[in-house]
Amino acid sequence: MADLSTNFVGITSPNPFWLASAPPTDKAYNVVRAFKAGWGGVVWKTLGEDGPPIVNVNGPRYGAVWGADRRLLGLNNIELITDRPLEVNLREIKQVKRDWPDRAMVVSLMVPCDEDSWRDILKRVEETEADGVELNFGCPHGMSERGMGSAVGQVPEYIEMVARWCKKHSRMPVIVKLTPNITDIRYPARAARAGGADAVSLINTISSITSVNLDSFSPEPMIDGKGTHGGYCGPAVKPIALNMVAEIARDPETYGLPISGIGGVTTWRDAAEFLALGAGNVQVCTAAMTYGFKVVQEMISGLSQYLDEKGMSLDELRGRAVPNVTDWQYLNLNHVTKARIDQDLCIKCGRCYAACEDTSHQAISMSPERVFEVIDAECVACNLCVNVCPVDECITMETLAPGMVDARTGRVVSPAHADWTTHPNNPMASAAE
């Protein structure tokens, strides 16, 4: 078994799987069950300032998008931060940390945007001996209407200011949780670093309406005939989260800033992908809410088997894909591929034919005997046939070796790299070296 123990900004945990701040971490009962099941750490459900507790709606809080067989692909919620008294949460955090010293205990916070509020709450969290704090600048509904959550996360100056207060008033590591509801994730990440934050975590949920009720004409989830946008999460948001993590990992201004990867982590593979794109660990919410805490056991066994098979340590996996994330303009235009259909594997469904014929480049032929073949002279190698084929490995992309002729263009494949920056059609092109 590979060693999965993790040190994230000085916070150690037996594995890189943490539960994200959300209902699964709202009280000691859940968190203790999670630790028993094997989770490496938790970010406690976001705490607000002392005073009358937050109220939630009393109708449905969630909307959902399903795939085949009602597999939950996306979840959206209109829940607010914890609605339990601050005192109770702090007491439980202290007790659980004491009982489970080897697990990571991070406390998520969201208080009004003034220095005193942050100083006060930090003092109280410090007394629990929690390992660190996460600043929730991400919640896109409810709290943002009150000037908190994503209302802060959308203004880099505020992020920097609050992060600085927190570093000033606390010795704990500070993780800034970013909202994806912005145009360029690098700006808030840079602001977090400028404010002295130890790390960023992302993504929080994406503003969304999951569906519209076509009888009552209101968004779902519907509360007394009305709906509001919620925050989207689950498997559907993973591609968005991966991109944002990669953007921060490769930005020269935030390069090396520790990242806690969040958004759609459902299996060990998802986690490994976040780690390869530079995340130091991952946080999970929807997968736990869908399947219960036991899913972590598959994540642990899968990740360690993968590392063993690769003969790689967790540290060696971390960031390994970052150097291969680049801009479109640097992609090699001399890399030519063609689709290949394995006739032995083909089940003759014809989906590739329909896709290419109707929506792409008419590059697949169909014989009366239902034999499907790629027409190299038409194939632009878009990959659509590969993606719609129901048989694993039946259609693959073959790379043409240098010296071969691309039947579509009639040109010999060159061994040299050539990209848009040097392309003759590019008015801004610099001369090829």
Partner 1 sequence: MSSTPPRPAPAGITAPGIVAGRLPAEALADNFTDVLPPLDRHEAIVAADRCYFCHDAPCVTACPTEIDIPLFIRQIATGTPEAAARTIFDQNILGGMCARVCPTEALCEGACVREMAEGKPVEIGRLQRFATDRLMAEGVHPYDRAAPTGRRVAVVGAGPAGLACAHRLAMKGHEVTLYDARPRPGGLNEYGIAAYKTPGDFAAEEVDWLLSIGGITLETGRALGGDLSLEGLREDFDAVFLGIGLGGVNALNAEGEDREGVQDAVAFIAELRQSADLSTLPVGRHVVVIGGGMTAVDAAVQSRLLGAEHVTIVYRRGRERMSASDHEIEHAQTAGVKIITDAMPVAVHGNGAVAEVEFAYTEDGPEGLRPRPETFRLHADQVFKAIGQRLEGAPGGLDLAGGKIAVTGAGRTSLPGIWAGGDCAAGGDDLTVTAVAQGRDAAEDIHTSLMTG
Ligand X SMILES: Cc1cc2nc3c(=O)[nH]c(=O)nc-3n(C[C@H](O)[C@H](O)[C@H](O)COP(=O)(O)O)c2cc1C
Query: Would you count residue 23 as binding ligand X (CB under 6 A)?
Result: yes
Distance CA 13, CA 358 (A): 52
Task: By CB under 6 A, tell whether 144 contacts ligand X.
Answer: no
| Least distance (Å) between residue 116 CB and partner 1 | 45
| Shortest reach from residue 181's CB to ligand X, in Å | 12
Restricted to residues 27-56, the positions that interact with partner 1 (CB under 8 A) are none
Q: Which of 291, 377, 333 is nearest to 75 (CA)?
A: 291
Return the structure tokens found at 244. 């944002």
At 188, is the secondary structure helix, strand, or coil?
helix
Q: Which of 31, 42, 81, 105 binds ligand X (CB under 6 A)?
A: 81
Which of 6/108 has CB closer to ligand X?
108
69 lies in the binding site for partner 1 (CB under 8 A): yes
Residue 242 CA to residue 278 CA, distance in Å, equals 10
| DSSP code at position 24 | G
CB contact at 8 A, 177 and 258: no
Q: Nearest approach, Cβ of 40 to partner 1 (angstroms)?
A: 18
In 100-149, alpha helices (H): 115-126
Between residues 22 and 279, which has the closer beta carbon with respect to ligand X? 22
User: Which residue number, 149 or 264, has a Cβ lying nearer to partner 1?
Assistant: 264
Nearer to partner 1, 396 or 414 (CB): 396
Q: From partner 1, ligand X, none, which one binds at residue 244 (CB under 5 to 8 Å depending on kind)?
A: none
Q: Does 302 bind partner 1 (CB under 8 A)?
A: yes
| Interface with partner 1 (CB under 8 A), residue from 56, 218, 267, 334 | 267
**Sheet containing strand 72-77, strands side by side:** 62-66, 72-77, 230-233, 206-208
Amino acid making up residue 372: F
Report whether 90 contacts 98 (CB < 8 A).
no
**How far does Cα 394 stand from its chain's mean position?**
30
Among 34, 72, 75, 275, binds ligand X (CB under 6 A): 75
The C-alpha torsion from 188 through 190 and 192 to 195, rounded to 10°, is -130
Region binding partner 1 by CB under 8 A among candidate stretches 240-248, 265-273, 320-328, 395-403: 265-273
Q: According to CB under 8 A, which one of 268, 274, 353, 372 is a site residue for partner 1?
A: 268
108 binds, among ligand X, partner 1, none (CB under 5 to 8 A by kind): ligand X
412: partner contacted, choices ligand X, partner 1, none (Cβ within 5-8 A by kind): none
Joined together, the tokens standing for residue 354 give 């329909």
**Long-range contacts formed by 224-231: CB under 8 A, 24+ apart:** 224/59, 228/78, 228/141, 229/140, 229/141, 230/62, 230/63, 230/76, 230/77, 230/78, 230/140, 230/141, 230/205, 231/76, 231/77, 231/78, 231/139, 231/140, 231/141, 231/204, 231/205, 231/206, 231/207
Residue 1 CB, nearest approach to partner 1 (Å)? 10
- Among 192-200, 223-231, 298-306, 354-362, which window interacts with partner 1 (CB under 8 A)? 298-306
* Residues from 274 through 293 that contact partner 1 (CB under 8 A): 291-292
The neighbouring-strand residues paired with 401 are none
Choice from 132, 153, 234, 258 touching ligand X (CB under 6 A): 234
Contact 266, 246 (CB under 8 A): no
Residues with catalytic function? 139
The reply on whether position 20 binds ligand X by CB under 6 A is yes
Which of 269, 348, 417, 423 touches partner 1 (CB under 8 A)? 269
Q: Is 427 helix (H, G, I), strand (E, B) or coil?
A: coil
Stretch that binds ligand X, among 211-219, 283-291, 292-300, 413-421 (CB under 6 A): 283-291
Distance of alpha carbon 283 from alpha carbon 261, whole angstroms: 6
Using CB under 8 A, which of 95, 213, 305, 324 touches partner 1? 305
Q: Is 203 helix (H, G, I), strand (E, B) or coil?
A: coil
Instruction: Name which of 44 and 372 has its Cβ closer to ligand X.
Output: 44
Q: Which of 190, 286, 314, 355 binds ligand X (CB under 6 A)?
A: 286
Contact segment (CB under 6 A) with ligand X among 112-120, 150-158, 165-173, 278-286 equals 278-286
The answer to whether 248 and 256 have CB atoms below 8 angstroms apart is no
Interface residues toward partner 1, by CB under 8 A:
69, 267-269, 291-292, 294-295, 297-298, 301-302, 305, 391-392
